[in-house]
Amino acid sequence: MSQNLTQEERQRRGARKTALIVAVVAFGIFLFTIYSTYKQ
Amino acid sequence: MATTTSDVQIDIDAHDAHHGPEKGLLRWVKTTNHKDIGTLYLWFAFTMLLIGGAMAMVIRAELFQPGLQLVEPQFFNQMTTLHGLIMVFGAIMPAFVGLANWQIPLMIGAPDMALPRMNNWSFWILPFAGVMLLSTLFMKGGGPAFGWTFYAPLSTTFAPESTDFFIFAIHMLGFSSIMGAINIIATVMNMRAPDMKLMDMPLFVWTWLITAFLLIAAMPVLAGAVTMMLTDRNFGTSFFDAAGGGDPVMFQHIFWFFGHPEVYIMILPAFGVISQIIPTFARKPLFGYSSMVYATASIALLSFVVWAHHMFLTGMPIAGQMYFMYATIMISVPTGVKVFNWVTTMWRGSLTFETPMLWAIAFVILFTIGGFSGLMLGIAPADIQYHDTYFVVAHFHYVLVTGALFSIIAAVYYWLPKWCGRMYNEKLARIHFWWAVISVNVLFFPQHFLGLAGMPRRIPDYATQFADFNMISSIGGFAFGSSFLLLTYIIVSCIRSGEPIEDERVWESAKGLEWTVATPAPYHTFNEPPQKDKILSESSHVGAH
Amino acid sequence: MLSRRCSVCSADASSNRFIARYTTKFKVKSNAIASWLLISFFFLPLSAFADLGFNLPKGVTPVSQNIYDLHMTIFWVCVGIAVVVFGVMIYSIIFHRKSRGAKASNFHESTAIELIWTLIPLGILIAIAVPATRVLIDLENTDKAEMTVKITGYQWKWQYEYLDNGVKFFSNLSKDSRERSEMGKVGDYPDHYLQDVDNRLVLPVNTRIRFLMTSNDVIHSWWVRDLGVKQDANPGFINDAWATIQKPGVYRGQCAELCGKDHGFMPIVVEAKSKEDYAAWVKEQQAKQKAAAAAGDREWSKDELMVQGQKVYSSTCAGCHGVTGQGIPGTFPAIAGSKIATGDVKEHINIVMNGKAGTAMQAFGAQLSDSDLAAVITYERNAFGNNTGDLVQPATIKAAR
Ligand code: HEM
Ligand SMILES: [Cu+2]
Ligand SMILES: [Cu+2]
């Protein structure tokens, strides 16, 4: 059981990292959209 | 395949007894459980479906005959606008997220979504956004009346004051979608049972993973578009105002760069659902699993390079028209592959026609009809005659109603018994199916003729030569609309008093990890990840070895 | 209700037939057969009743005819694919069902098959793309035009300017259509309901015509199916399109891009005449325009102003302020009893000529002649119970410019 918990904990840590990267990408796309329209 | 209650499940059941759901209403406000949140999403989507459907009834009632009988043109335009927005952002998308919440952890052997607290947030933003969007109807000057595509400058310089609230609502809806997508990506990438490889995943999970990436790439573009509208309206910028050096056509480019992927966001999970259901009732593994995955991925990639097929008439240079025409019709190739694979899955199977299968078959046929009209629309010179007519309206309702919505209904019939441990009334469900599938065709098929005969979309009143098909279409519309009352009854009575089921598998030949947990699905599942042999024997795409 | 117009009687017959088909469908045991009937039934009418409002018309320009042929080609390709795909599906639904004792086989992969059904559709697409490209290139043929018409979209009417001879006018929804489309009206529909205008766009046949489209406010789209022309009119930008009309006649269309409240009420009527008749028409228009300009230089009587004013009001103002001057509460102010129409004349002239920023009220000073402005303002001040007795003369308007 405890071994599995660390396994799940490991997974969740990885998941948070993935989520952060994806969120940053999304925000980047948002900024890029406005920036590129502004430049036309 | 025999169904046995494994040790793992006994363990889970015992566990469940200690950590069941909280009691009372607060359970739903505070919940971080993927099943609770899935349920919330699905009920929200269903509510919005009924509200958006009521607006459609207003539209069809006004169009029942020529002349203005019920609503003024300005209000009619508010109805078409809000109908579109609510169905897209309030009904179809949240319904698929709800299915993802329920099913993805169950299908990949994970105990829950990766980020359960954020999951709670992404749901609870939705009702506020929905109420804000609807509240614009009661504001001075009325709600948004510029179509769900809100082209500038009709939506900027010429729009009612409530537009700023519309913009805020879109921001919130987008935020919710992005958070939902982040959660799905993190869950699928990191939370799978350790022994499940990507290519072991059921297709529903695959299609949702790809959809989540589409959401991440598309929703921020939408957010950018409405942000620029906001500053154009209130802070003196002129992104889309020719008088200030901007370009209204630029708005359309940005909108459709979001908009075309958006339509695939609404159909890829549907492909996933159908790919789960057909093998179950054909008693045969899905044909061409890996080609299905590749086809989905290539549809997703292509969907970012075809956006201007919505803009052939904006004054695009001929080279642009050619490119977007070729790219668009290319999408039919992977789309065709999917249809061929489904048909071949049925070929030499041992078919039965339980309700989910009926909906899946209707999906394949009717979605394909929508694909044909899509192909026709993609031919740039022909689109001169089709664009902005009822032919387009027919096209997207075939792909979205008999496509996306039908798949959601199929999914609910398929998984509801697992979720609540009770069976729906099969006889009523069949009546509902035939009622809906006939009326939906009476509703939308004549709209092809109307478009070809020259009726533009988004008009509250029309010339008399369009009268007959409009009346037929409206009659179909009322019949289809009322079928949802029956659906409501079927679902509610199933949940409250359906015949209890004990069998884990529910459907005799269903495969997938979700069918290995107890019925009804316990509050907590897969605290212990499933093992390799189980994952393999439950994969619907590998033959019964 | 189902058979009101002769042109649809026969369409009716077939629509009744399809309702009948639906009813018999309930009796069909096999889901499969029923679905199949449904499909084939729906495809039938398209080809069988090509000219009964089921299908595109061929139109009267080379472009519209090319588009029509292309449309039929793609349509039949789709039907062909549908027959094969749905045929296979129906076959297996009928013969591979468990109730017939079908045993499931277990095949689930074949690279060869996947390859085949990627390549065949690809081939079909290329076969469609070739004629499509040809039509597209033909369509964008920008050879020298023999005449040019500039089309400007307004909320909610069209303005036509003949750049070669100076003729210029607005084209509005016809009066009887406008009146029939008031909320709650019942009774017969006028001929060409909602597809009729006060001033038609008159064009010569067998002449290569260039259209320039632009807009004064939001995006509109100028569409006449029989000419094979649909092109967006964007504010601040100019698009073009070409047409050579081969047959004299009257061709009707309407705005195709949502442009606000009265988007459904801005029709287009093209009248194609022989070259001689067209030349005569141009002369007539030029004379009329001269007369109208001259009319601005004299005193008008009250009756004259009221008659002309009512005409202008119903074509230009009634769309928003209503045929009876009641407006739409909360959206468009009433003229009847309004502060402006019964108050200071200067204010009234000012708002009509310069519009009101941030609202749908346009600057009509740029659209109407002195005499039309004088007439419509006089009319507004004396109709709908606004009995101010004020007269506004064209000279006053001229001075206000
Ligand atoms: C074979 C695949 C498809 C092709 C080639 C295709 C092509 C097109 C084209 C060219 C248009 C623009 C028509 C016009 O405005 O003149 C269009 C409109 C539309 N399509 Fe598709 N389509 C396909 C599949 C789909 C799918 C799967 C969906 C959604 C699930 C979809 C949803 C829509 C919507 C919502 C519109 C109308 C947008 C609007 O103007 O409001 N299409 N399609
Ligand atoms: Cu698209
Ligand atoms: Cu319009």
CATH number at residue C168: 2.60.40.420
**Residue A8: predicted pLDDT:** 77
Identify the residue whose tokens are 């019949």: B479
Residue C25 is part of which domain span? 2-48
Contact B389 C256 (CB under 8 A): yes
Residues of B assigned a catalytic role: 83, 112, 148, 176-177, 260, 262, 264, 275, 309-310, 335, 338, 457
Q: Quote the ipTM score.
A: 0.89
Mark whether C165 and C223 lie in a shared domain. Answer: yes
> What per-residue confidence (pLDDT) applies to B544?
41
The pLDDT of residue C91 is: 94
Residue type, B258: F
Q: Which of C85, C113, C139 is where one domain is finished?
A: C139
C183 and C200 housed in the same domain: yes
pLDDT band for position C395 (cuts 50, 70, 90): confident
Half-sphere exposure of B291 (CA within 13 A, CB side): 26
Number of domains observed in the structure of chain C: 4
Given this model, what pLDDT does residue B540 score? 66
pTM greater than 0.80 = yes
User: Given an 8 Å threshold on Cβ–Cβ distance, is B459 in contact with C263?
Assistant: yes
Query: Is position C224 within any domain?
Result: yes
- Per-residue pLDDT averaged across B9-22, rounded? 51
How many CB atoms are closer than 10 A to CB B18?
7
Looking at the fold, whether C218 and C124 belong to one and the same domain comes out as: no
Amino acid B101: pLDDT: 96
CA quadruple B326, B329, B331, B337: dihedral sign: negative
Residue B2 scores a pLDDT above 50: no
Q: Residue B345 pLDDT more than 50?
A: yes
Contacts of B266 (CB under 8 A, 6+ apart): B88, B92, B93, B96, B400, B404
Poorest-pLDDT segment among A27-36, C200-209, C255-264: A27-36
Helix residue ranges, H only, C140-259 = 175-180
pLDDT at B55 over 60: yes
Q: Do B114 and A29 touch (CB under 8 A)?
A: no
> What's the pLDDT at C347?
86
Percent of chain B with pLDDT over 70: 95
Q: Which of the pair, B245 or C193, is modelled with greater confidence?
A: C193
d(CA B240, CA B251) in angstroms, rounded, equals: 6
- Subunit contact B361:C31, Cβ cutoff 8 A: yes
* Cα–Cα distance measured from residue B541 to residue C1, given in angstroms and rounded to the nearest whole number: 54
Q: Residue B74 pLDDT more than 70?
A: yes
Q: Does the CB atom of residue B422 touch ligand 1 within 6 A?
A: no
Separation of CA B181 and ligand 2 centre (Å): 21
* pLDDT for C17 beyond 70: no
Query: In this complex, which chains have at least 3 CB pairs below 8 Å with chain B?
Result: A, C
Could you give the 3-state DSSP secondary structure of residue B155? coil
C21 touches chain B (CB under 8 A): no
Q: Select the residue from B122, B183, B221, B251 to test the A interface by mutation, using most A Cβ atoms within 10 A.
A: B221
Res. A10: pLDDT tops 70: yes
Mutate to test the interface with A, among B15, B115, B190 (most CBs of A within 10 A): B190
Q: pLDDT, tens digit, for every residue of B503-524? A: 889 998 899 999 999 989 999 9
Is C311 within a domain? yes
Q: Distance (Å, rounded) from C-alpha C393 to C-alpha C301?
A: 9
Q: CATH code at C126?
A: 1.10.287
Answer yes or no: is pLDDT of B533 > 50. yes
Q: B499 forms bridges with which residues in the sheet? A: B423
Q: Looking at the DSSP assignment, which residues form a beta bridge with residue C249? A: C272
The domain boundary, picked from C90, C118, C139, lies at C139
pLDDT for the residue B482: 96
Choose one of C238, C269, C289: the last residue of a domain: C289
**pLDDT band per the 50, 70, 90 thresholds, residue A22:** confident
**Under 8 Å CB-to-CB from C356, ≥6 apart: which residues?**
none
Banded pLDDT at B26 (limits 50, 70, 90): confident
Question: Is pLDDT above 50 for B104?
Answer: yes
Res. B212: pLDDT tops 60: yes
Residue C57 lies in a domain: no
Whether C72 and C162 share a structural domain = no
CB B377 near ligand 1, within 6 Å: yes
Residue C332: phi and psi, rounded to 5, are -125, 120
- In the block, which residue shows the tokens 């206000």? C400
Q: Is C286 helix (H, G, I), strand (E, B) or coil?
A: helix
The arithmetic mean of pLDDT across residues C141-160, rounded, is 89
Cα R_g (chain A), whole angstroms? 17
Ligand closest to Cα of B329 equals 1
pLDDT in tens, C41-66: 455 444 444 445 788 989 999 999 99
Residue C20 has pLDDT above 50, yes or no: no
From the CB of B93, is ligand 1 less than 6 Å away?
no
**Smallest CA–CA distance from C26 into chain B, residue:** B434
* pLDDT at residue C362 in the model: 82
Work out how many CB contacts closer than 8 A connect B with C. Answer: 314
What is the mean pLDDT of the segment spanning B201-222? Answer: 95
**Quick check: is C395 in a domain?**
yes
Question: Which residues of chain A does B114 touch, with a Cβ-Cβ cutoff of 8 Å?
Answer: 11-12, 15-16, 18-19
**What would the mean pLDDT of C143-163 be, rounded to a whole number?**
91
Mapped onto helix, strand or coil, the DSSP state of residue C65 is helix
pLDDT higher than 90, residue B27:
no
The CATH number assigned to the domain holding C384 equals: 1.10.760.10
The pLDDT score that the predictor gives to residue C325 is: 87
